[in-house]
Amino acid sequence: MADLGIDIIEIERLERAAARHPRLLQKVFTAAERAYCLSRPRPAVFLAARFAAKEAVLKALGVGLGRCPLREIEITREDSGRPQVMLHGRASRLAGSLGIKRIAISLSHCQSYATAVALAVKEEN
C-alpha cells in the first residue's frame, strides 16, 4: 500500500521569498541541502525542487504544512545522483506511526517551475 503526494512551485516565487526573508533558507533547508544547492548554477532551481519535494512528502504523509518543520524532511542524493528522502524528528516519528517503510521521490524542473512527486510506501501486513 502507498500514498502519493505532488507539489509544484514557481522558482521565481522562492527567489523573491528568500530575498525578502534572509533566514528562510536556514528555516526550511538543512545545512547539507543549502551547501549542495548554493554550489549549483542557478541555486534557486535546486532549492525550489527541494521545497516542492518537502511539500510532496507532507502530502504523501497525509498532513499539511505546520505538522512538522520542513527541515525535518531532508532531500539528499545517492552517489548515482538519485534523490532520496531522509526524515528526522517529528517527521520520522509521524512516518513510523503511519507504518511508512520508505518514501520514494522524483524531482523535476524547467525554466520557471520545479515539481516533485513523493510516494510513501507502507509496511505490508
Where in the sequence numbering do the catalytic residues fall?
59, 109
Contact 109, 48 (CB under 8 A): yes
Q: Which CA distances in Å does 60 have to 4, 14, 41?
A: 5, 22, 30
H helix runs in the chain, sequence order? 11-20, 24-28, 31-38, 43-61, 89-97
| Dist. CA 103–CA 120, nearest whole Å | 4
- Angle at which helix 11-20 crosses helix 43-61, to 10 degrees, equals 100
